[in-house]
């Protein structure tokens, strides 16, 4: 327990130092934010990919995880594109239109987000048992009531 707390403390210190270092080395705030976002994005992708690998083939959760992974990939691509474009001033030095591929990545991410949201909606409908549970509750209370009535009749 003590070691766990120490570990969390060290991790927080490491993340904070990393952030300070990025902002010190990269003087442009937008680029620095881009690098920080990218590192979080990569971590999110690593975790989601490990989850994807451990889930059963063909399961709803695996399909959902795959879609979520695709969203993360497109968002990361957008961040990479945007940061690189800022860092190397592509819009000024190469072409103004180099802004648009980044937006394409963002559009793709949101399209897949919609698909993923629809899938989680279907999962909610399929895996949700609330109405059945209410029905069961009703039957149980009816049974208890009828037992109570029988007992009181017998007592009389």
Partner 1 sequence: MADLGKKFDEELKDLKEYIALATVDAKNYQKTNLDIIKHLTQNENIPGVYVTLNKPHAVLKKLFDKANIDSRLIIFIDAVTQIDSSEVKRKDNCLLIGNPENLSDISIAMDQAVRAIKGKEKFLFFDSLSTLLVYNKAATVARFIHFLATKMRSWQVKGIIISLRKESDKELINELSQIVDVLIDLGGD
Q: List residues binding partner 1 (CB under 8 A).
A: 55-62, 123, 125-130, 132-133, 135-137, 139-140, 143-144
We find the least distance from the C-beta atom of residue 152 to partner 1, in angstroms, to be 18
* Cα distance between residue 124 and residue 66, in whole Å: 17
**Residue number with CB closer to partner 1 (16 or 133):** 133
We find the least distance from the C-beta atom of residue 126 to partner 1, in angstroms, to be 5
Closest CA to 116 of 83, 151, 68, 75: 68
We find the least distance from the C-beta atom of residue 136 to partner 1, in angstroms, to be 5
**Residue number with CB closer to partner 1 (96 or 126):** 126
**Residue number with CB closer to partner 1 (114 or 136):** 136
* Cα distance between residue 38 and residue 105, in whole Å: 14
- Which tokens sit at 51? 């989850």
Burial class (CB in 10 A: 0-12, 13-18, 19+), 156: exposed
Residues 6+ positions from 4 with CB-CB distance below 8 Å: none
We find the least distance from the C-beta atom of residue 49 to partner 1, in angstroms, to be 16
**Residue number with CB closer to partner 1 (89 or 143):** 143
């Amino acid at each position: 327990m003590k070691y766990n707390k120490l570990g969390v403390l060290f991790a927080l210190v490491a993340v904070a130092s990393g952030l300070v270092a990025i902002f010190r080395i990269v003087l442009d705030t937008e680029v620095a934010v881009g690098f920080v976002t990218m590192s979080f994005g990569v971590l999110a992708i690593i975790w989601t990919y490990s989850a994807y690998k451990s889930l059963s083939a063909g399961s709803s959760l695996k399909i959902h995880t795959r879609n979520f992974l695709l969203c993360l990939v497109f968002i990361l691509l957008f961040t990479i594109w945007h940061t690189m474009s800022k860092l190397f001033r592509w819009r000024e030095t190469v072409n103004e239109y180099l802004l648009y591929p980044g937006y394409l990545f963002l559009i793709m991410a949101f399209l897949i987000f919609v698909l993923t949201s629809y899938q989680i909606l279907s999962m909610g409908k399929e895996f949700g048992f609330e109405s059945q549970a209410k029905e069961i509750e009703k039957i149980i209370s009816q049974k208890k009531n009828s037992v109570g009535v029988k007992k009181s009749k017998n007592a009389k």
